[in-house]
Structure 1
């Protein structure tokens, strides 16, 4: 794939574009004449090989961030690809480097008009990291936004060795990474996580001591309470009933009067910090088994993502 760095760079590219707000099935169209983004001094131009979808993509597409957004837009935050050009101030990357990251430093603050669902895009050096050699492009693309969110959330609540955590939505894109980070990076004493019955074995394999079938068990009624409850599905009121006195709840889904809510600040530094865990295989990407979806099936991939039934991440690969 690194040979892509030697190919001539076109002035117009293929990309999935929406020019009005709505569901992907209604508004997302494949276009062949997307202008290639202009490269700034602190950016690199990436030949995209793989991308991953996130709920934030769907929220943006239906107009959730209109105040800071403009259309037409190519969606996509997570990217993995090959550097084909570097800005004059870039120090850590060169042409031919295989990189990955979350393109938008602030998810809601003026996100890029050309996201990862295009043949090329640009990203600031600071949001990228070198792709671990043992990960495929599809695996690497699945990680950035989810694992950076998981890591930042655990850090914000001061999670540390010997503490217990309950993960709400343990089989999702962020949840699968919270479990692994809590176990291997932060040294959790106990990890509980919720999912449907068919995904309980996955939770165990990732490191959960107490997999909970949310269709049969009300986690807030368990006699055991937790030092931290990480809400990745939007149930902060129930989460508050599952936390120990003096413990903390953090949510990434919706603001709540008494529960800390945060929006990720994307940084390649986190990916670099976690590199040894990826390379050792202790922390693994979790790509939904329905995919990867080919580039031509981006609309179908969004429709699947929007069911909220995906396991891990929905990935688009290969991107021509």
Structure 2
């Protein structure tokens, strides 16, 4: 099969290579083989490629890619939920940093445990579906960990990124937030409002620690824990997905679970929660290096998606 592969750690532009004769991954009994239609990039992909998680990584060579949307090509003997021909999506690595798969989604085929997948909502394109799993599940797990519930207020730091765009929507439309505030650069404020933010804050002009009101929960998607702690109410929660944290803030690494996607599918199908695709994309498979370069610039809006594959 065709795939993007790196055999040593380093910058994506120097180590990631296009290969045309890679072995299709073998299938375990609890896995399905997916013909990949679209894949999305996440910051964890290039950080892993740089060797940031080498102590708990699987041995090289590696095909990167966590997010996948595609069609079931083959099923293992123990698979109950899916059959050949089903359109599915998911985050293929249950533990994001604990020996993630060597055969990721930036390939024509990938093998994934059935419990990490869900049926693709019929109204979503493969591009939209591929953009959702890791960011949506991270947003959902963070809201759950912060004990977020109806009637509470939340501030999202980094509201226009892959995870931030999902936190705004889930907090508002799934969890029933009383107020959603979020930060972004000037050009992206309208996007935040369109997703359900009641207060869109331009971080280039305002300091969140100076805001007159404090929030029940602050979801830090950019690594600004110290600022987040100054914006949270007494007894509130700060949850972070990047950078070092100071108690009482807490951080977590996602555990992927297809049942979260199944639970949220009605919200995707009704259009209450939308996939946010970076306007420069989707990038064709041949332009995967350009896609990584765009993601690494920290200027992406929503998710950077690769399609078609190959």
Residue pair 2:225, 2:246 contacting (<8 A) in 1 also = no
Distance in 2 (alpha carbons) for counterparts of 1:58 and 1:155: 27
> Residues of 2 paired with 1:96 and 1:145: CA distance?
23
Give the structure-2-normalised TM-score: 0.99
- Which residues of 2 match residues 43-82 of structure 1 at below 5 A? 43-69=31-57, 70-82=59-71
Distance 1:154 1:28 in 2: 34
Match of 2:303 in 1: 313
TM-score between both structures, scaled by the size of structure 1? 0.96
Residues in 2 aligned to 1:275 and 1:220: alpha-carbon distance in whole angstroms: 36
TM-aligned CA deviation for residue 65 of structure 1: 1.4
Find the counterpart in structure 2 of residue 8 from structure 1: none
Q: Deviations over 1:163-185 (max 9, x none)?
A: 00000000000000000000000
- Which residue of structure 1 aligns with residue 82 of structure 2? 93
Matches within 5 A, 1:283-298: 283-298=273-288
Residue by residue, what CA displacement relative to the aligned partner does 1:55-94 show, whole Å, maximum 9, x if unpaired?
0001100001112221110000000000000000000000
Question: What's 2:92 paired with?
Answer: 103
For residue 236 of structure 1, the aligned residue among 225, 232, 239 is 225
Q: CA deviation at 1:257?
A: 3.4
Q: Count how many residue pairs are aligned between Structure 1 and Structure 2.
A: 308
Instruction: Give the deviation of 1:35 after TM superposition.
Output: 1.0
Distance in 1 separating the partners of 2:140 and 2:61: 32
Preserved contact between residue 45 and residue 65 of structure 2 (Cα < 8 Å): yes
Aligned residue for 2:40, secondary structure, equals strand
1:185 counterpart = 2:174: yes
CA distance in 1, matches of 2:56, 2:35: 26
CA distance in 2, matches of 1:192, 1:56: 26
Look up the match of 1:224: 213
Deviation at 1:23, TM superposition (A): 1.0
Q: Are 2:15 and 1:27 aligned?
A: yes
Deviations 1:94-128 (A, max 9, x none): 00000000000000011110100000000000000
How much has 1:252 moved relative to structure 2?
0.2
String of CA shifts for 1:200-246, please: whole Å, max 9, x gaps. 00000000000000000001111100000000000001100000001
Tell me the residue number matched to 1:112.
Answer: 101
**Does the CA contact (< 8 Å) of 2:65 and 2:106 recur in 1?**
yes
Hey, what does 1:171 align to over in structure 2? 160
1:147 aligns with 2:136: yes
Partner SS for 2:68: strand
Report how far residue 276 of structure 1 moved: 0.6
8 A Cα contact 2:155 2:215, kept in partner: yes
Which aligned segments of 4 or more residues in structure 1 are displaced greater than 6 angstroms? none
Q: Aligned-pair RMSD on alpha carbons?
A: 0.6
Q: Give the unaligned 5+ runs of structure 1.
A: 1-12
How many angstroms apart in 1 are the aligned matches of 2:309 and 2:114? 22
Q: Is the 8 A contact 2:135 2:162 kept in 1?
A: yes
1:14 aligns with 2
